[in-house]
Structure 1
Amino acid sequence: MTRRALSLRVYSFHEHPNTERLMTTLHHSLWRALGLSLLALTPFVMPGAQAQPAAPALEAPAGRAAKQAGTAARDMVAAANPLAAQAGREILAAGGSAIDAAVAVQLVLNLVEPQNSGIGGGAFIVHWDGSDVVTLDGREVAPAAAKPERFLGRDGKPMPFYDAVVGGRSVGVPGTLRLLEVAHRRWGKLSWPQVIAPAMRLAEEGFAISPYLNGIVTQDKYLQNDPIARTYFYGEDGKPKPVGTILKNPAFARTLREIADKGADAFYTGEIAADIVATVTRHTTNPGDMTLRDLEGYKVEERAPVCGSYRTYRVCGMGPPSSGGVAVLQMLSTLEPQDMASIRPGPDAAHWISEAGRLAFADRALYLADPGFVSVPVRGLIDPGYLKTRAGLVSPDKSMGRAKAGDPPFQKTEFRFAPSDGVEFGTSHISVVDRDGKAVAMTTTIEDGLGARIMTRSGFLLNNELTDFNFAPEEEGKPVANRVDTNKRPRSSMAPTLVFDADNKLYAVVGSPGGSQIITYVTKTLVGILDWKLDPQVAVDLPNFGSRNGPTEIEAGTEAEAWKSALEAKGHQVRAISMNSGIQAIVIGPNGLTGGADSRREGVAIGN
């Protein structure tokens, strides 16, 4: 294996309109530190079956070929931690559906990757049942007591970011568990207790702390101030428990046992709900206002999928309150007139993808928010005629600098300005395809790494999702679309995505964490798979790059840094930064499945 294969980079880099955020890079040897058997984690193909041959692909960029693509004959799961992926594979091997596996993966991630997701947060699911795409919104909701001025200080100005994050003020009503239950009732094949069992077993028996989890806890300044989290994550010496320490969570095991017996109602009512409310409202320095009624009233919303064409493919994603599906389709539409297959990875590709990003992020800032509160012109934003006009604004030779929002058709009401970046750093993605060809793309989050830095007695961290709202309720004298409001869902950038071929057969399942950069991470990966014919592992490991309608960002420490002068010659303001994606991709071919799990994190793509 290369040095890159043994390197894990842990980032905590945030772009947010209300604060400057910490950036730290930690290097760890993942496999050596955990003592994991690579053989045990190697994807395998059932005897007598042929693995899908790798598509014609570029040479992997220097230093980036950290993993080989996973292959399987019947089914596959790609997730951000080997133990979570293994739980999903076990469920698939037992005859479970894609959603059965996704439930198992998510609950194990709650244990092994608690900094990024869990039942204290929210998620989106894009599901393919073999004939229809269905999208379910399990996004967190602001409590009934929430008001637009929630994140203003006494001086009337937006609070410093971490003053808002740490404590109960930032916690939204969690949606993930109700989402899992709704999806399982609709598409599950195995029993509810059966899909919960892997996480319950791991909570009781314990698991080895990974370098990624250790790195996040080590660099964080706030988690140790919570007494329950301090006991769980830190030793008696006050230092984070070291890599390889066996961590058990009996409180979470009890919570899972209640949920297995009584369903999600055990979470949204009763003792667990009371524990959540107490954790939020009794915070000593920054209490929130969530109530038992807020929890009991939480509902999962089925949203219309956002679908569009890209060359011979059909691409479907999540609509508002996520901006991800719309923005990805807008970027692809801008790229479609270009011969991306000939352009190949490099500064020219970075130019086109960055310019496409500027246009998409300009529209995103103006139009996207919770559709229950703002009339979002989704139909106009993905209208082919409108997008053709927008694509015409891109020059092959010069960056446009900062793009302005367009004027899409089919607007029902006057739009309102929504500048918030919608960051989710503490996020993870799960891609699953089962033996029946059904699939799940699920992106799941607690927003910032380690969420609100408060842990319930029930054994899980709580989100800080309300800081995904814009802190200032007005901009330029107009109400902000993504302002805080009663029972409102904050805008997201998550972009779980399904791709279908010309015969409407499922072709790819893709998604990523990474805050607002999720949109460019997913677009880059789709171009890599669909235009450059890369196998999914090489596609996800390509250097990250793009623009969120500001500087053109290129991933520090990769060959993308060599593109800087060529981009600057086209007028780009270039910034090399850490870009911590966690892309999980599965491609379905005539002979089986091929998967890629982002080498920037700990994940694997494995199947049966």
Structure 2
Amino acid sequence: GVVGGRSVGVPGTVRMLELAHKQHGKLPWATLFQPAITLAEGGFKISARLNTLVAADPHLKKDPVAAAYFYKADGDARDVGVNLRNPELAAVLRRIAAEGSKALHEGEIAQAIVDKVQKHPTNPGKLSLADLADYQPKKREALCHDYQVATKDFRVCGFPPPSSGAIAIGQILGILKNTDAAAKPLQDGIPSADWLHLYTEAARLAFADRAQYVADPDFVQPPAGSWSSLLAPAYLADRAKLIGAQSMKVAQPGNPGAVKTSYAPMPDQPEYGTSHISIVDAFGNAVAMTTTIEDQFGARQMVTTSAARSGGFLLNNELTDFSFAPADAQGQPIANRVQPGKRPRSSMAPTLVFDKATGELLMSGGSPGGAAIIHYTAKTLYGVLNWGLMPQQAINLPNFGSMNGPTLLEEKRFPPATVEALRARGAEVREMNMTSGLQAITLGNAHGKKLWMGGADPRREGVVMGD
């Protein structure tokens, strides 16, 4: 069900941006689309990474529109460096620029989306015109927690459920604060085995709670009536006591307070790709925005309204973020099960860090990467706030983590002794490709003047730009 019509959720980003623009925008809506229209019409050079992903994907070329756009006539992926133009996408963007989000959610483009989903040859979906027309974005209160490093008090804010990012990162940082992690500095520029043991154990505890409790709050009550219960200092201090010298391998969820409905933990299943931007403007407005069509190339379905049928936009396979099983073997429901009108749990972790005393913004960051977003972002926050690194240095640190199973280490980045030391503590260690796409900006000082410093992940195509 990962590829095809059944996994497609209602695309909500344009409606969300329209609401944000209505409430906070300065420039006319239509002018904001111009750079994207110009890029779609003029094209971009195919990167080595895009070429590799297209060539390796077994499903993408089965869609005739995607096949015409991404592949040559002989079926091979278009070559690195070739200019890839998408006038069909430019036409869609022009319509949205002129008419607003209703251009996407009603009428010809909406009909093209529904046709694509409902008429998929092997895995049709039930997405309807009414689903698209009825979709409304939701504004939610940021989930914030205090974080202290030596004498500095920070306020770390992120997106609440249905995203699990802010809770999991807050739990990992809060649990680590209750260990002697602070006494374990970087060794030769990378985290030590002792520190990694503490981090991955904290991660197991956080991911156990994530699987148990986190889902769309319109459908699931948080423990003790508030998501903050999962970040309560006393609760995290208790959870930290479970960390010993040996790995717990698989942690059990905690009990931060009474829950109205008892849920079964969601079994682990793969999560995928995304994009992130962090921006601060001259007026002090800041945005950390993570956006996704879920897997790379989403549902592998490309929508077009043009007769040329050789471009357009890809549909998401966002519904794969729900639990594939509605209940466990005993029939206990899973919080993140599929329900009508429900938003799936995500791992997105757009994060803003403030000086607690003054309220001044100090950092904005986030990353793509499925469930590993949580680890990529936590690593960068810890690198900047605890180890005093520049954002680029923190991003460049090797990646690591655990989703409450094996310890994951970015391949070819850790010495064999580190891997062996973690195995000696009882962890199953997997060295693998961990392709973060971190973007972060932090407020720094140079010659007595405040300035923003940026970092972009060398593992993907990100860039840092400033005036």
Residue deviations 1:184-234 (CA, integer Å, cap 9, x gap): 222222111111100101111222112121111111001001001111111
Q: Which of 383, 405, 416 lines up with 1:550 in the alignment?
A: 405
Instruction: Name the CA distance, whole Å, in 1 between partners of 2:234 and 2:180.
Output: 20
Partner of 2:220: 374
Whole-angstrom CA distance in 2 between matches of 1:524 and 1:548: 14
Distance 1:172 1:560 in 2: 42
| Cα pair distance change 1:564/1:558, threshold 3 Å | same
Give the whole-Å Cα distance in 2 for the aligned partners of 1:187 and 1:231.
39
Residue of structure 1 aligned with 2:135, choices 291, 295, 298:
298
How far off is 1:304 after superposition?
2.1
Query: In the alignment, which residue of structure 1 is the partner of 2:275?
Result: 428
Q: Give per-residue Cα distances to partners, 1:358-379, cap 9 Å, x unaligned.
A: 1100111100111111112213
Mapped partners of 1:530, 1:436: distance in 2: 24
Matched AA of 1:506:
L
How many Å apart are 1:583 and its aligned residue? 0.9
Residue identity matched to 1:330: Q
Matched, 1:565 2:420: yes
Residue 250 of structure 2 is matched in structure 1 by 402
Task: Report the Cα distance in structure 2 between the residues aligned to 1:376 and 1:521, rounded to whole angstroms.
Answer: 25
Instruction: Name the structure 1 match of 2:261.
Output: 414
Structure 1 residue identity aligned to 2:147: Y
Match of 1:495 in 2: 349
* The one of 209, 212, 216 aligned to 1:363: 209
Classify 1:293/1:599 alpha carbon distance in 2 versus 1 (closer, same or farther; 3 Å). Answer: same
Letter of the 2:123 partner, please give it. Answer: N
Q: Which secondary structure state, in structure 1, belongs to the residue aligned with residue 464 of structure 2?
A: strand
Question: Unaligned 5+ residue runs, structure 1?
Answer: 1-163
Residue number in structure 2 paired with 1:282: 119
Q: How many residue pairs were aligned?
A: 443
Residue 421 of structure 1: how far off its partner (Å): 3.9
Aligned residues with identical type, % of pairs: 53
CA contact (8 A) 1:422 1:491 kept: no
Amino acid at match of 1:363: D
Deviation at 1:595, TM superposition (A): 0.8
Partners of 2:206 and 2:213 in 1: CA distance: 11
Could you tell me which residue of structure 1 aligns to residue 188 of structure 2? none
Question: 2: CA distance between counterparts of 1:210 and 1:401?
Answer: 39
Partner of 1:353: 199
- What secondary structure, in the 3-state scheme, does the structure 1 residue paired with 2:93 have? helix
In 1, distance between residues paired with 2:270 and 2:340? 20
Separation in 1, partners of 2:293, 2:268? 16
Report the equivalent of 1:446. Answer: 293
Q: In 1, are the aligned partners of 2:41 and 2:87 still within 8 Å (CA)?
A: yes
CA contact (8 A) 1:586 1:596 kept: yes
Report the 3-state secondary structure (helix = DSSP H, G, I; strand = E; otherwise coil) of the residue aligned with 2:144: strand
Structural mapping, 1:109-508, within 5 Å: 164-311=1-148, 312-344=153-185, 345-377=191-223, 378-395=227-244, 397-409=245-257, 411-421=258-268, 423-458=270-305, 459-475=312-328, 476-502=330-356, 503-508=358-363
| Contiguous gaps of at least 5 residues in structure 2 | 186-190, 306-311
Is the contact made by 1:214 and 1:240 (CA closer than 8 Å) also made in structure 2? yes
Query: 3-state SS of the aligned residue for 1:303?
Result: coil
Find the counterpart in structure 1 of residue 308 from structure 2. Answer: none
**Cross-structure match for 2:459:** 600
Shift of 1:400: 2.2
Q: What residue in structure 2 maps to residue 512 of structure 1? A: 367
Q: How far off its partner does 1:539 sit? A: 0.3
Shift of 1:282: 0.9
Structure 2 counterpart SS, 1:170: coil
Q: Residue type matched to 1:269 in 2?
A: E
Structure 1: how far apart are the matches of 2:346 and 2:282? Answer: 31
Cα displacement (A) at 1:524: 1.0
Cα shift at 1:589: 2.2
Contact 1:418–1:482 (CA<8 Å) still a contact in 2?
no
Deviations 1:225-255 (A, max 9, x none): 1001111111111111111111111111111
- Please say if residues 179 and 240 of structure 2, whose CA atoms lie closer than 8 Å, have aligned partners that are also in contact: no
State the SS of the aligned residue for 2:313.
Answer: coil
User: C-alpha distance in 2, partners of 1:473/1:339?
Assistant: 40
User: What amino acid is the match of 2:299?
Assistant: A
Distance 2:218 2:243 in 1: 33
Q: 2:378 aligns with which of 510, 523, 528?
A: 523
Contact 2:406–2:427, Cα closer than 8 Å, also in 1: yes
Q: Structure 2 length normalisation: TM-score?
A: 0.92
- CA RMSD in angstroms comes to 1.4
Deviations 1:424-459 (A, max 9, x none): 412111111111111111111111111100000141
The 8 Å contact of residues 416 and 481 in structure 1, kept in 2 or not, is answered as yes
Structure 2 CA distance for aligned equivalents of residues 400 and 237 of structure 1: 51
Q: Secondary structure at the match of 2:234?
A: helix
Change (3 A) 1:556 1:469: same
- The answer on whether the counterparts of 1:422 and 1:493 sit within 8 Å (CA) in structure 2 is no
Question: In the alignment, residue 543 of structure 1 is paired with which amino acid?
Answer: P
CA-CA distance at 1:341 after TM superposition: 4.4
Q: Distance in 2 between matches of 1:213 and 1:181?
A: 29
TM-score (norm 1): 0.71
- 1:228–1:287 CA distance, 2 compared to 1 (3 A): same
Output the amino acid matched with 2:289. M
Aligned partner of residue 257 in structure 1, secondary structure: helix
Tell me, what secondary structure is at the counterpart of 1:169? coil
Deviations 1:483-514 (A, max 9, x none): 11111111111111111123221011111111
> What residue is the counterpart of 2:441 in the other structure?
586
Larger relative contact order (C-alpha < 8 A, sep ≥ 6)?
A: 1
